[in-house]
Each structure stands twice: as C-alpha cells, then as structure tokens.
Chains A and B, each alone.
Chain A
Amino acid sequence: MNIDLVASSISLLTFFGISAIIALSLNIEYGVAGIPNFGQALFVSLGAYTAGVTYTRLMPLLAGRTPLEPCASGNMAAALALRGEILKSMPLVALGNFALTLLLAAVIGGVVGLLASYPALRLKEEWFLGLVLLVGAETVRIIVRGWPPIICAHNGLSGISPPFGWLPTAQIRSLAFAGLVLAIAALCYWYSERLVRSPYGRLLKALRENGSVAAGLGKDMARVRGQVMVIGSAMAALAGVLFVTNLGFASANDYGVALTLDIWVMIVLGGLGNMRGALLGALIVTLLDRFTSVAAIQFNMLGIDIEFNYVRYILFGLILLLMLRFRPQGLWPEPRRTTAANRVLAEQAGAAGAAASQPGPAE
C-alpha cells in the first residue's frame, strides 16, 4: 500500500476549499440571517448543471467547433473526446469557458435564490420555508434526472474536468486547480467577513434574532431575506462548479438531501454565525470524510467487510445531535462584535454609572 502524500494532500486541500465555500454560503443564510435553507444542495447543483451545459455547448463554440449532442448514444464518446481535446490543446478556451461558467452559475444561483425567497413572504409558519426548500431541491433533482438536455438525465455526464488539461503532468494540473479553488475560497471568506462586520451584517443578525422588531424599525425584512438568498445561493452555485469539475462527473444524485445534511453538519459543528467556525467545520468534515474512506479501504484489505459509508453517516448524525444538545453555539462560537459607537456608549454609560453611584442628594 502506497499512499502518495503530496497527491492526497492536494486533493484534501481542494475538497476543503470547496466545502469551505459551501459552508460559508449556508452560514451567511442560516448562521447570520436565520434562513433555514434545508435545500442548499439545490444551489450547489445549479453550478454543476451550469457546468454540464457550458462544457457541452459553449466550450465547443468558443473553440470554433460544432457542439455535438452529448447524450445521443451515437456520438457520446465523440462529444467526450471533443471536450478532452479542447481542454488539452486550447488553454485560453478552457480558462475562458471556466470563467464564463463561474459567472453564469453565480447569476443562475442568484436568480433561483431570489425566486426561492419568494415563498418566504407567504408562508404561514417559519419552518414551512425549510420544508419548501427541501422539497424544491428534491423536485429539481428529479426533473434533471429525468430530462436529458441538461446532464443526460440519469446517465450523468463525464469529462467535466478542471480547465487545466493543457498543463503537462497530473501533479501540476491538480496543484493548479487546488490553487484556484483555495483562491476563490479565500475571496469568499474575505467577502463573508466583510459582510458580517458591515452595518448590513448587523441588520441580518437583527432579522435572525427578531424579524418583527427589525420590521417595526422600518426595515423591509422580505427584501433583506431575498438579498441574502441571492448572495448565499450565488456562492453555493460557484462552489457547485468547482465541486463538479473536481469530481469530473455530473450526476443529479450527488445533490440530494445527504449533501445538504453534510453542509449543516459543517456549520453546526464549526459555529453558527462565525465565518471562521464555518471554515473549521468544513475542515473537520473534509478530514472525517477522508478518514472514513481511507479506513474503509484499510479494513477491506484486512478482510473486515464493513461498509464504512454507513459508519460515516451514523458518525455525522451523532455529531449533529451531540452538538445541538450540548454545544449549540459550535466549536468556535460567534464572537461578540463591538463597533466604535458601542465603545463610546459603554464609556458614557460607565461615566454615568460612576456619577450615579456618587453619594449626593437625589433629584
């Protein structure tokens, strides 16, 4: 048994970066703004489906070739070969197509996020939104799985690889992709931190803590919810493009409730509302995921026939339950943020308090 340490740490970093972006997106939606998105897999899948469409239609056009119908049994192999050939020989087309895919995915994710926030205004009880999002995600998955034009229905679509096919060795290719993923993750992290620290971020927390009070103060909470869903969903869709290109294969069944639950484990474990917590959660979940799959291989080689995938889900379920019960604030809780105004007010209150405690005639 020979584990290639460099290759596996590169792949681990790539997985971590992708999980981090997804965790950040849900942390903005639920951790900060309190929107219970039990359908985050949908928005991740939108990125994957966008990539499926651009890789088969847009990329050949950019390369000046005729797109082949990717799902017809006659030219499935030819279409796959065409994708591979373009990725290998035309760096500019590969990168340009990828950039356009990211952009398109973010736009589509944002639009669908906005549409999904629409029911939020009309639902009688708060948790209905969670159910609607969960069920909406499953509906889209079933439609994509049954309707060929997007990713060839239940067959899935292969050859959705990172745009670095033109680099010489596999090691360099995966290193370049890991670098790209981590750069995008860093950008998302920076953006999320800025967002939470801004006045707008405080508005989001007001929405989470008590929407009626914020509405009473004249904030249009329905609009804010819509905006947050746009931001979170666009980010999740970006991650979806990276997710699918990392796998190299688009299949609707990868984006079910199981993926959504993984994301929830990340943010509940790390710390709701804290962006660093989300990163920590993403890291731990990625490591556990890796660990269980490596352990599975090891155990199978020792002849112990235990399905480690099951153990993984039991473990994740236990983590979620234990965290919710014993440490709901997460491993790295949300810090108390103080602004300049906060400090001035505290000083004044301190001074007033000191004055009040002075012995003297009462007014």
Chain B
Amino acid sequence: MPIGLLVDSLATSVLVGSLYALMAVGLTLTMAVVKLPNFAHAELISTGAYAALIVSLALSGSPLLVMAAAFVVAALVALLTHWTVFRPLSRRKSSTYVLILASFAAGLIIRYLLFLLADTLDLFDKRIQVAQEVWLQAGPLTLTNIFFWVAPTSILLVVALSLLLNFTQLGRQMRALADNSTLAAVVGVPTTRVVNLTWLLVGGTAGVGGALWGMYTFVDPMLGWLAILSVFAAAVLGGLTSFSGAILGAYIVAFAENTLMQFLNYSFGLDFSFKPAIPFIIIILMLMIRPQGLTGLFDGLRRDAQMER
C-alpha cells in the first residue's frame, strides 16, 4: 500500500475514531445507567447535526456556537424521549425487547421529522458552514482546521465525561445507579434527577458528535442511522458498559473501516461497498466469542472507569 494512502487513511481513522468514541460513550452511559440499548441514539446524533447546520446557516459559523446549539437541542430531545417514551415503559416493567422496539419507533419518528424539516427547508446533503482552511501540510498528509476541531473536541469531551464520572458527586451517583439502582435509591441517590441529567449528557454528547460529523462530511437525516451500528460495534468491543472499552473500541472500529478497508481494497480488490459490513461482523463475532468485551484483556491497565459489577 502506498505511503500516501496509508497516512491518509490513518488520519481518517483517528478522526472517525474520535467521533465514534464520543458517540459510543453516550450509548454506553445509556446502557449502564438506564439499562437501555437505545437505537434512537442515532437520531440524537442527526438532531445535533441539523441543529448545528441550521445555526451555522442562520447565525454564524463559529464552531463553538454551532456545537453549543447541537448540545442543547439534542440534550432536550433526549430528555423528551425519556419522558414520553422510555420512562413510562420502564415503569410498567416492560421487557428489554419492548424498550428496544420503542427506541426503534422513537428513532423512526425523529428521523422522518428531520426528513420533513430538510424537505421543507431544502437542507439535504449540506455542509455545516465552518470555513475550511489547510492547517498542516506535511508530505502526503494534509490536515484542515476541521480535523483540528473534530478530533481534539471529541477527545476533550470524552475525557471530560470520564472525569465527571470518576471524580464528581453526579458521576458517583451515576455509577451507583449503574451498579444497582435499588440500592442506589435506598442510600439516597436522587435517582430521578440523576437519570434526567444522564439523558441530558447522553443527548448532548451525541448532538455534538453529529455536529462534528457534519463539519467533516455532510448533514443528512440518515447520518445518525448510518453511524449507529458502528457505534454499537464500538460499545460491544468495550463490553457494552465499559467507558474506556468503548473508547478503545471506537478507534478499533474506525481503524478497521478505514485503514484495514483501504488495505483490503488495495491488496485484494475488495470493493468499498462492503465497508458497512465490517462493524456488523465485529458485533456478531464479539457477542458470540467475547461478550464481556476487550477490557478484560488488559486487567492490569484497567481503572475503575469500568462500571460493570
């Protein structure tokens, strides 16, 4: 494989991996604290992307403003789905299947509302209006300001979220809920408030993920749906409830989808249309062979960020 292709695909892997990490930590948080494999997470991502796009078109292309808008709107939508869909269902002790089905339905509704919105305002395949400029040119590697916004912002948010989880009152309460919700309630964790805040955080990070994705490529109502199974693959690689595992998983998935795919295409002529199958195969193999995720493999390195048990 020529060095140019390799370097280029590695840069893409880092970028996409950071985005997946940001999306996957939110999904992992939902699975740990709320015990919900939320497929509507996809639409939280798309919602953030559209909030960012509309703000960038109507107000300004300042990346910070755009991301703040994405955070707020997606966080509110997440809280709304919790109140209208998931909380009533889990109060009725619905099975996980019913919750998954409900998350599909909620996602479907949001996705096609976004389609209607995009249709009326003509917002298909638009780029978030952040001016692009080349910031680094070194040999075969060209990095724009988008790269320097997307990757570090994602990493920063993931780190912030980890710190919050490990060193704050709210984080401890979230982990207590993840561990044993009955016990947490008994010892005085304000469960309702903590769950609401969890949803806001989950929605917000998903929204920022969508906004950053929209700066990197295009905004489309299908954006979140097309990313969600890769994000699930990242979470599965991390054992579904481990934060650090999900982050590691995100980079592995991104690497497989970009660098490995590029290599398979170059060396074996594998068509790029097979690329979406990569995260699917990862999910199937992991769930069957190692459902506890990869983190157990590095027990020495593991910190208590792992929320399982």
Contact = CB atoms under 8 A, between A and B. Distances in A.
The 6 tightest CB contacts between A and B, nearest first, are A317-B108, A320-B105, A317-B109, A124-B291, A146-B273, A139-B280
B287 A136 contact: no
Given A324-B89, A324-B105, A130 B97 contact: yes
B287 A139 contact: no
Given A124-B292, A127-B100, A317-B109, 4 more contacts: A135-B280, A142-B274, A142-B280, A316-B108
A261 interface: yes
Contacts of A306: 116, 119
B287 A128 contact: yes
8 contacts: A125-B96, A135-B232, A142-B276, A257-B104, A314-B108, A320-B102, A321-B102, A325-B102
A313 B108 contact: yes
B101 A139 contact: no
Interface in B37-68: 37
Interface string A289-328: 0000000000000000011001101101110110011001
A129 to B, nearest CB: 9
B85 interface: yes
Give the interface SS of chain B, mostly helix, strand, loop or mixed: helix
A139 B284 CA distance: 10
B106 A130 contact: no
B113 interface: yes
Interface string A237-280: 00000000000000000000100010010001000000000000
A242 B111 CA distance: 30
B229 interface: yes
Given A125-B291, A310-B119, A324-B94, A138 B276 contact: yes
A261 B97 CA distance: 13
Contacts of B111: 313
B288 interface: yes
Given A130-B97, A131-B287, A321 B109 contact: yes
Contact of A313 (B89, B94, B112, B288): B112
B190 interface: no
Interface string B253-272: 00000000000000000010
Given A314-B108, A316-B108, A264 B101 contact: yes
Contact of B288 (A132, A146, A311): A132
A257 B111 CA distance: 14
B281 interface: yes
A124 B290 CA distance: 9
Given A146-B274, A154-B273, A317 B105 contact: yes
Given A317-B106, A321-B102, A324-B105, A310 B94 contact: no
B171 to A, nearest CB: 25
Given A320-B101, A320-B102, A145 B291 contact: no
Interface in A134-181: 135-136, 138-139, 142-143, 145-146, 153-154
A143 B281 CA distance: 12
Contact of B229 (A135, A317, A328): A135
A321 B119 contact: no
Interface string A104-131: 0000000000000001001111111011
A243 to B, nearest CB: 21
Interface in A53-86: none
A138 B102 CA distance: 20
A190 B22 CA distance: 51
Instruction: Report which residue of B37, B85, B100, B112 has the largest number of chain A beta carbons within 10 angstroms of its beta carbon.
Output: B112
Contacts of B119: 306-307, 310
A306 B89 CA distance: 33
Interface in B231-248: 232
